[in-house]
Amino acid sequence: MSDHSVLHVKGRVLAGPDDVRDGLWVVGGRISYDRPVGARDVRTVEGWALPGLVDAHCHVGLGAHGPVDADVAEKQALTDREAGALLIRDAGSPSDTRWVDDREDLPKIIRAGRHIARTRRYIRGYAHEIEPADLVAYVGREARRGDGWVKLVGDWIDREVGDLAPSWPREAAEAAIAEAHRLGARVTAHCFAESSLRDLVESGIDCVEHATGLTDELIPLFASRGVAIVPTLVNIATFPDLAAGGESKFPRWSAHMRRLHARRYDTVRSAHDAGIPVFVGTDAGGTLPHGLVAAEVAELVTAGIPPLAALSATTWGAREWLGRPGLVEGAPADLVVYESDPRADVRVLAAPRRVVLNGAVVS
């Protein structure tokens, strides 16, 4: 839109779980709830508006074998945008995607730097692969490189054990998390297994990705410490195929992955019921396609999370957690408009009517 044009979102604006308004205006790319005086070139969009969706676990710039070219990363970001995901927490990427920040037509990205993993204990080409003695130094490096987050690989298959096992000794994790916090960064970790969780939480970690290993014993610990989880259920759905592929070489690991998959919905529901903050993330990039944010919200509802809470996990609550504004006066106009009320059926998120980014209708 030109500097003088105005967008009128006419309908119902879901500015918060208990804050429903009758429309809004976009002036100069920013939100206003007051009709502008003397507006011209007014464009009207009708429907139900939500803040731009949040994908809190997404990898722009990452492909199946590691970093991808900028043109591929651009397509990934555009796919997420078309799905309504306008704020992405990039939970680990070997690519430098800072150029995205100069593009007003692409989603905003909060970066966690590059994954930090134990040597030969993660997917090849994705992470810094190091030993515990170097963990503090690498956490400091990625804390400075990222946007307030650092991503650890908390567990992975240990070939000698033949199953998932923690990556870091307790003392190394404590020192590394303390260093990140000293530098003003929060820490999250990839964790599938049960055995990696207690040490990380008691070491002060801020978030756990996947968290399939949460148990009835561990859930109160997460809740008392306020440690968030991003379940990525659309990724956990692939566990049976992964287990089948590793059956002959690692039967113990395969059986473990099947058990984690079988109780995935119970795990997420129990976490939510206990008061653990739960947020939407798709794990797009690597082997999963982009644009899955609506599918992940639907999965949370299938797990037993109430629809309004599942919506908050990708809108109001997620934006507050990441320190980014929603549909408040003067904020950048990043919003998605739908045909019907998403509170009545979250599946409407799969079909945005209009996507507005930085005040411009981009889809």
Has residue 324 got a pLDDT over 70?
yes
36 Cβ contact list (under 8 Å, min separation 6): 6, 25, 27
Q: With bands split at pLDDT 50, 70 and 90, how would you rate the model's confidence at 345?
A: very high
327-339 burial, b at 16+ Cβ within 10 Å, e below that, comes to beeebbbbbbbbe
> What pLDDT does 256 receive?
98
CB-CB contact of 17 with 48 (8 Å): no
Cα(363)–Cα(342) distance, rounded to whole angstroms? 19
Residue 263, token pair as written in the block: 């109780």
> What pLDDT does 40 receive?
76
Q: With bands split at pLDDT 50, 70 and 90, how would you rate the model's confidence at 1?
A: very low
Q: What is the mean pLDDT of residues 119-144?
A: 97
> What pLDDT does 5 receive?
81
> What pLDDT does 270 receive?
98
Percent of the chain whose predicted confidence (pLDDT) is above 90 = 97
Mean pLDDT (the chain) is: 96
> What pLDDT does 39 receive?
76
Q: With bands split at pLDDT 50, 70 and 90, how would you rate the model's confidence at 28?
A: very high
Has residue 4 got a pLDDT over 70?
no
Share in percent of the chain as helix, strand, coil (round to 5): 35, 25, 40
CATH entry 3.20.20.140 includes domain 53-322 = yes
Cα(19)–Cα(109) distance, rounded to whole angstroms? 26
Cα(142)–Cα(159) distance, rounded to whole angstroms? 27
> What pLDDT does 37 receive?
86
> What pLDDT does 2 receive?
43
Has residue 3 got a pLDDT over 50?
no
The answer to whether 6-50+326-361 and 53-322 have equal CATH topology is: no
Has residue 136 got a pLDDT over 60?
yes
- Cα-based distances in Å from 15 to 32, 50, 136, 283, 328: 12, 7, 40, 26, 7
What class, spelled out in words, does domain 6-50+326-361 have in CATH?
A: mainly beta
> What pLDDT does 321 receive?
98
Residue 145, token pair as written in the block: 């490189």
Question: Facing residues of 24 across strands?
Answer: 9
> What pLDDT does 239 receive?
98
pLDDT in tens, 85-94: 999 999 999 9
Q: With bands split at pLDDT 50, 70 and 90, how would you rate the model's confidence at 340?
A: very high
Cα(228)–Cα(319) distance, rounded to whole angstroms? 14
pLDDT in tens, 35-53: 998 777 899 999 999 999 9
- The domain ranges of the chain are 6-50+326-361, 53-322
Q: What is the pTM of this model?
A: 0.97
Cα(32)–Cα(19) distance, rounded to whole angstroms? 15
